[in-house]
Amino acid sequence: MLGIKELIKDREKLEKRLRAKDPEISLDRVIGVYQDHCQALTELEELRAELNSASKKIGEAKRRGEDITPLHEAMTSLKERIQQKTILTTELEAQNHDLLATLPNIPDEDIKESLDPKDNVCIKTWGEKPNFSFTPKHHLEIAEQYDLLDFKRAAKITGSGWPIYKGLGARLEWALLNLMIDTHQKNGFTFHLLPHLVTPEMMYGAGQLPKFGHQLFRVKDNDYDLYLIPTSEVALNGLHYDEILEESDLPKLYTSYTPCFRREAGAAGKAERGLIRIHQFNKVEMFCFTTPETSDQIFNKMMASAEEILEGLGLHYRNMLLVTGDMSFGAARTVDIEVWLPGQNRYYEVSSVSNCRDFQARRSKIRYKSKDGSNRFVHTLNGSGLATSRLFVALLENNQKSNGRVTIPKILQPYLGLEEL
C-alpha cells in the first residue's frame, strides 16, 4: 500500500509513474476522499469542543438555579450531530483505505516505461541454446515414452489443468525440489514448510486481495474462510504480520516449498499444453525481510541463488528486466529468469524475482525498530527459486538425445540415482 501523504506531496510525479503501470489510474478520488475525511475529522473535533463547552454551561446554570432545558436540548442536538459525523468519518476512512488498496506499487525510477512485454530488457544471458541433429520432441512425447505424467487420470480426478507425476516423473520432480531447497539453504535461506491455506488478511497483506480475488481458489463455509495459496510468498509474508522486528535481526532470508494454486493457469491453447500452464504446480520460493538500505543487495543475492540452480543444471537462460506495465501489482522492480524450451521454440519464465520495497509491509504492518529507536517499514522481496513445472519441461527437452534417451545433469544424479532416462 502507498502512503497517502507521499501521494499528495508528490502527486504529479507519482501519478505519472503509476500510470506507467496502468494508464487508467487517477489519484483524484483517493485524494478527494482523504481530504473529505480530514475535513470531517476537523468538524468532529469542533463539535466535541462545543459539547464540552455546553456541558460546562449546564453545570454553571445549575449552580445559579437557572432553567437548563434549552441547554439540554442543544446538547442533545450536538450529540446527534457528533454521532452522524462519527459515522461519516468512519465511512470515509474505510473508503480511503479501500481506494489506496487498489493502487499498485510505484515502479523504481530506472524501470523502462512501457505497457508492452516485448519491451522488456535483456540484462544477462548464460549458456547457449542446444543444437540438435534431429527434430527435438515436445516434453509430452518424452513423458509418454517414459510414462512420467498422467493428465488423463488427473482430469478424471479433478479436471483439466491438474497434473499427475508418476514413477520416474514423480522422482524427477522430487529430485528438483530437493536440489533447490539444498541450494538455498546453503546460501543462507531458512527452510519452511507452510500451510497451503491462508486467511483473507494474509492475502490482502501480500497484495493478492482485493485485485486478484477472481484468480484465487477459495474455501468458504460456516466454519472457514480461507484461500489456497497462489504462491508461498503469501504465507511467508504473513509470518511477521503486524510485528515489529529488531534491526539487528535483519535481513531474514526464508525459503519454502509448497504447491501453488491459480485459476488463471490452464486457460491457454495448444501452444501451452502439458506442464506449461496448469492450475497446480510446485515451487520453491525465496522471501526476504530487510532494511531499505540493504534491499538491493538482497535482491542480487536472490537472483544469484536462482541462477546457481540453472547453471548447475546446465540450462541456457536469460534475465529480463520487466517494463512498468509487465510487473506485478506489488512489485517496484522485477527480473524474470527465462529458460529456452526447444519443444515450444521460445523462452519461458521459471523464476520471477521482485523487490516490493515497503509496499507489502505497509499492508501487513511489518516494521522494524531502527538503531535510532524509530519504527520503520521493512522491505520485502520475493523470488521463485524455482517453479518446477517448466523446469521439468526444460530438463526433458534440452537434454534429449537422438536415441530417445534423456541425460540427467550431474548435479541432479545423486538425488535421482540415474544418469539418464
- The domains found in the chain, sorted by start residue, are 4-101 (1.10.287.40), 117-416 (3.30.930.10)
- Active-site entry in 81, 318, 349, 405: 349
State how far the Cα of 38 lies from the Cα of 373, in Å rounded to an integer: 29
Confidence of residue 203 (pLDDT cuts 50, 70, 90): very high
pLDDT of residue 272: 62
Q: Is 262 a catalytic residue?
A: yes
Average pLDDT score over residue span 223-238 = 96
Chain segment 47-75, per-residue pLDDT in tens: 998 888 878 877 777 778 777 777 777 77
**Residue from 95, 99, 98, 92 nearest 43 by CA:** 92
Cβ atoms of 339 and 347 within 8 Å: the answer is yes
State how far the Cα of 130 lies from the Cα of 260, in Å rounded to an integer: 30
Q: Is 11 a catalytic residue?
A: no
Q: Is 357 a catalytic residue?
A: no
Average pLDDT score over residue span 390-399 = 94
- Active-site entry in 233, 367, 390, 397: 390
- Active-site entry in 262, 357, 362, 367: 262
Q: Is 370 a catalytic residue?
A: no
Average pLDDT score over residue span 16-28 = 95
pLDDT of residue 264: 64
- Active-site entry in 277, 357, 362, 367: 277
Q: Tell me which residue has cell 540452480.
A: 309
Helices (H), 191-294: 200-206, 233-238
Average pLDDT score over residue span 289-309 = 98
pLDDT of residue 292: 96
| 194 three-state secondary structure | coil
Confidence of residue 266 (pLDDT cuts 50, 70, 90): very low
- Active-site entry in 232, 305, 351, 352: 352
**Residue from 226, 420, 408 nearest 312 by CA:** 408
**Residue from 230, 237, 286 nearest 260 by CA:** 230
Checking if the pLDDT of 269 tops 70, the result is no
Percent of the chain's residues with pLDDT above 70:
98
Q: Is 352 a catalytic residue?
A: yes
Asked if omega into 200 is within 30° of 0 (cis), the reply is no
Question: What does the mean pLDDT of the chain come to?
Answer: 92
pLDDT of residue 349: 94
